[in-house]
Structure 1
Amino acid sequence: MTMQLRDDGFRYGAVTRALHWAMALLLAWQFAGMAIKLTVGKAPITAFWVGTHKGIGVILLALIVLRALWGLYNMKTRPAHGGGFWGLAARGGHLTLYLLMLIVPALALLRQYGSGKPLDVFGVRLINGGWAEAPWMTAPANAVHGLLAWVLLAAIAGHVLMVLVHRFIWKDGTTRRMIG
């Protein structure tokens, strides 16, 4: 049996599933780190976890761009969301997730660039810095990055809830599309 890389009308391919689950794990890491920061405060574990936040955010931004491009490439062969209210809700929910997964790290990257400070991601310098802060670049993320991140977490919780509804209440086989 060969591995199906691309999506078809019945299930998501290996690439879509790999991107989905890699992002799920990295998002869980990000939110766990922020939860630890809020509950524990300053501590060695907080410093470690939060110390990876920017690097993981950059990786997530790259993955969501790849995922969106892959989704567009597979647009005509992706499993359908269905019709009616629930199909429209599924499309709207997925679009909301994609937009938030793109906007939240993009705002943080804009803030980082606008700060004039360097950005090193796991030992690789991505932004040299050395220029004056540009408040018009830092202000948007300062205002809404955290808030939109928590909205993203709420959207993810809604997504997980609907997975459970599909699996245990409707029993319609939808979860097999993503699990493989």
Structure 2
Amino acid sequence: MTIPSTPILDTVDVYGRVTRWLHWSIALLLAWQFLGMGLKLIFGRQPFLAPLVGSHQPVGTVLFVLIVLRVIWAVVNRRNRPRHGNGLLGIAAVTGHGLLYLAMVMVPCVALLRAYGSERAFAPFGFEIFPARATEIGWMVDLGGLLHGELGWVLGALILGHVVMVGIHETMWRDGTLARMTRAGS
């Protein structure tokens, strides 16, 4: 038995290879970020957490690039993607995905705003993206500091809701929703 290969582009029946790669790469990196910040909340700033917590900025930078690519890719494929259904459930699914995308973009944007206004250079991989400022731009740092973590936890709640809905689709409705993002040729 041959398993059909997954197309590169999305189709009305299945998400393509690029969408899947972006989805699961972002999911793994977000899990890393939440693990690090969750452990930091539980244990505080402990030396054993330094490698995990210390990677937050570079991993966040990679996430931002992948999220921008994912948004662009979603727009390019918008007419070919699997549909979320009709009626109230379809509207809820579209709204939920829209909120996920919005939060995924907003969380790193407010972090970048904070970094741009900071007196410290922003150099997540050792090369400078934003230079150090002579004086801090207070409103940027304050706004970024106020919103980055809180929006991050909002994103976490949206992700949890997303996972719960996948579970409902798979266990109660048995409609193959998960297969469109996991199995080749589905």
- Which range, TM-score by smaller chain? over 0.9
Where is the helix percentage greater, Structure 1 or Structure 2? 1
Say which of 105, 127, 130 aligns to 1:127: 130
* 1:42 has 2:45 as partner: yes
Q: Give the ranges of 4+ consecutive aligned residues of structure 1 lying more than 4 Å apart after TM superposition.
A: none
Partner of 1:176: 179
The residue identity in structure 1 corresponding to 2:181 is M
1:7 and 2:10 aligned: yes
Q: Which of the numbers 78, 82, 102 marks the counterpart of 1:79?
A: 82
| Paired residues, number | 180
Give the Å deviation of 1:67: 0.2
Where in structure 2 are there 5+ consecutive unaligned residues?
none
Aligned with 1:124: secondary structure?
coil
Q: Deviations over 1:141-177 (max 9, x none)?
A: 1112111111110000000000000111100111111
Residue 67 of structure 1 is matched in structure 2 by: 70
Q: How does the TM-score come out when normalised to structure 2?
A: 0.93
TM-align CA RMSD:
1.2
Mean CA deviation greater in 1-10 or 164-173: 1-10
1:113 aligns with 2:153: no
CA offset digits 1:49-96 (Å, max 9, x no partner):
111111111111111110000000001100011111110000000000
Report the identity percentage: 47
Query: Which residue type is aligned with residue 52 of structure 2?
Result: W
TM-score normalized with structure 1 length: 0.96
Say which of 138, 145, 149 aligns to 1:146: 149
Please list every run of 5 or more consecutive structure 1 residues that lacks an aligned counterpart in the other structure: none
How big is each residue's C-alpha offset from its partner over 1:114-160, in whole Å with a ceiling of 9 and x where there is no partner?
A: 00311222333222223310012112111121111111100000000
2:94 counterpart of 1:91: yes
Residue 160 of structure 2: aligned partner: 157
Q: Once structures 1 and 2 are overlaid, which stretch shifts more, 125-134 or 167-176?
A: 125-134
Deviation at 1:2, TM superposition (A): 4.7
Distance 1:131 1:59 in 2: 27
